[in-house]
Structure formats: C-alpha cells, structure tokens
Amino acid sequence: MLNPPAYKTLLKEDPVYYVQEVLAESKFKPDESQKEFLRATNEEIILCWSRQSGKTTSAAVKLTHRVMTTSGLQVLIISASQRQAGIMQSIVRQFVLMAQKTVKKWRIVKEFEMHEDPLDDNSKMIKCNAMALEIGNGSEVISVPAKEDTIVGYSPDIIAIDEAARVPDAVYYAILPMRAAHPCQLILISTPNGQRGFFYEEWHENRRPWLKRMVTAHDCPRISKEFLTQERNAVPRDIFEQEYECSYLAVAGSLFTPEQIASMFTTRPEEQAIADSMATDQLADTVAWRTAPIGQQLDALFSRYLDAMQGTQ
C-alpha cells in the first residue's frame, strides 16, 4: 500500500485514479475517451461529442477533481441556458458530496491505515446553492447562463462552456479577456449545431493550439448499435448525422450552403475585367458626367455594363 503522502500525490495528479478511489461508489466508469479528457492538462480543449456520450458528466468529474485537490481555484461554468448551467452544477455538487463521504469513511476505518485526509484538510463544502458552491480550501464553482451581463467580474482559473455550439458569439468573445492576466484553462464542450458560430469556427480553424477530440455515438461503448440503427430509421437524416455522428451541417432552413454564400462574394475574372474597364472609363471624368443627375449616371453605367457583358458572350 502507498504511504499517505504518495497516495495523496497520486490522487491529485491522476484524475482517473481519483475516480477509482474517491468516487468509486458513483456510476461513472470512464471509457478511454473520457480518461484522456480527464487527464488532459492543455490550456485549450475542445470536445465535439455526440449526444449521450457523457460529455457533461466527464466535465463535472474533471472540475470536481480540480477543486477538491487544489486550493483557491475559481471555476466558471457557462451554459446556453439557466437550466443547463444548473445541470452541470448539480452533478459537480453530487460528486463533491460523494468525495466528502468517502473521505469520512477513510478516517474511521482503522485497517485502511490512512492517518491523514488524502485531500486538502479544508476540503469540506461550506457553501452551496443552485448556481455556486464553495469548498473549505477556498476553491469555488460558479455556474451562469450565457448572458453578457452575468459573466463579467470573474477571474477564473478554469472556464468550461457546456453546449458551446448554442452559446452566442458575443458571450464567447466577452469571456476571452478573462484569460489575459493569468493562466486559465478553456474547455469547450458540445454537439454540433450547424455551420455557424464560434464553436464551428474554432473546430475548423487553427486559431489556437486546441486539443481537439471528436467522439461520435459509434465510438461510445454505452450506446448500442441496435439503438443507433433504430434512430437512423426513425429520425431525419440530417438530425441523426448532427446529433449522433457530430456532422456540422448547413443551418436548417437555409436556402444556400455556406460555400454557395461565399461564392456570391467572389468576383469572377470576366466580371472583374468589366469592372476595371468601367472604373477607368473616361466617361466619369467629364464635366457632363459629374454634373448629371444621379439617375442619368446610373442609367449610363447600367447601359455600358450590359454592352460589356454582351461582348463577353
């Protein structure tokens, strides 16, 4: 058996070991993807995981481990809605209470040979409400909905954005300055929600040194093939691909794809040649042109444009 100092160090450094020892009574049994996420120390992590893949619970366990083994930590959970923010906060609270219950058992079981609290001595939860909890070691977990007026004033050490694809861009960009003055881990967690918004852009563009991980329903050992076969036959194809296969689809109801919209703002070579010709035309330099009513100017330009277009056919 490890001596108490070594045991305490292992609990702090390995979240998976912490789950096995401190949260053993929970139903949370991490799979390989979850273990990798729990152990990840990257400052920027983005998870694109399917529905029911355990992303919110995994994040709650990771946050629980950090606040219970580190003093003076501030964790900020941001979710698309008040209800969603309360869900992760509730899961964190359950794990914190479970950890305290386990520690209490260790203290009274003599044969365990544990002579000191394996966590910080002040790891009791001293304050808790629906949206915030504070641990006796000075760490706290605060959950807020994604509104600009609710996220100001914090200096967190960890920011976790749950269902990030449904959080407004303005909220995300208001969050980023919180990381300016000191190290702050940023974790984005979501299932895709169309080809739009910061979550889609951060996933597809190399703006930051993200640790990016995708887990589809096919990768999750807790989701059966039979269930997925049934869902594939029961729901629209685009819904299945987005919710279970993590596909970034064009926004529902859009008349054009993002690629088609982008092409509308790309000038074809023949159109650019016409524009260049018109821009250098001497017509615009004449006194008559400059003094003519705007309607006559537009008529003249449109007429010359039609003539030029006919010349390219």
Per-residue pLDDT reduced to its tens digit, 50-98: 999 999 999 999 999 999 999 999 999 999 888 888 888 899 999 998 9
Return d(Cα 101, Cα 81) in angstroms, integer.
31
Q: Provide the H-helix boundaries in 112-168.
A: 148-151
Which amino acid is located at 67 in the chain? V
Give whichever of 125-129, 212-216, 282-286 has the largest mean pLDDT.
Answer: 212-216
CB 144 within 8 A of CB 78: yes
- Let me know whether 240 and 273 are in one domain: no
* End residue of a domain, out of 221, 254, 287: 254
Q: How far is CA 276 from CA 267, 271, 279, 308, in A?
A: 12, 9, 5, 11
283 DSSP assignment: G
CATH code for the domain of 217: 3.40.50.300
| 209 pLDDT above the threshold of 80 | yes
Q: Strand, coil or helix: what is 145?
A: strand
User: Is 172 among the domain residues?
Assistant: yes
- Residues 241, 300 share a domain: no
Q: Is residue 63 part of a domain?
A: yes
- Look up tokens 């993200």; give the residue: 210
Characterise 246 by phi-psi region: left (phi > 0), alpha (psi -120 to 50), beta (else): left
Q: Which two tokens stand for residue 211?
A: 């640790």
Q: Identify the band that residue 151 occupies on the pLDDT scale cut at 50, 70 and 90.
A: confident
Task: Give 310 or 262, the one with higher predicted confidence.
Answer: 310
The whole-model pTM stands at 0.74
In this structure, are strands 74-79 and 158-162 parallel, antiparallel, or unpaired? parallel
Q: Is the pLDDT of residue 110 over 50?
A: no
Helices (H), 44-162: 55-69, 82-108, 148-151
Cα–Cα dist 277/246, whole Å: 48
Per-residue pLDDT, 273: 58
Q: Are residues 247 and 271 in the same domain?
A: no
Domain end position, chosen among 232, 254, 276 = 254
The percent of residues above 90 in pLDDT, for the chain, comes to 49
pLDDT digits (tens, 9 = 90+) for 5-59: 677 788 889 999 999 989 988 889 999 999 999 999 999 999 999 999 999 999 9
Q: In the prediction, which pLDDT does 114 show?
A: 42
How far apart (Å, rounded) are the C-alpha atoms in residues 85 and 151? 12
262 in a structural domain: no
Co-location of 34 and 157 in the same domain:
yes
Six-digit token string for 287 = 């006194």
| Confidence bin at 197 (pLDDT 50/70/90) | very high
Asked if 164 and 106 sit in the same domain, the reply is yes
Residue 259 lies in a domain: no
Structural domain that includes position 150: 4-254
* Domain total in the chain: 2
Same domain as 143, residue 34: yes
| 147 Cα distance to chain centroid | 15
Question: Going edge to edge, which strands form the sheet with 140-145?
Answer: 125-128, 132-135, 140-145, 74-79, 158-162, 185-190, 44-49, 211-215
Q: Kindly calculate the radius of gyration of the chain based on its CA atoms and give it in whole angstroms.
A: 28
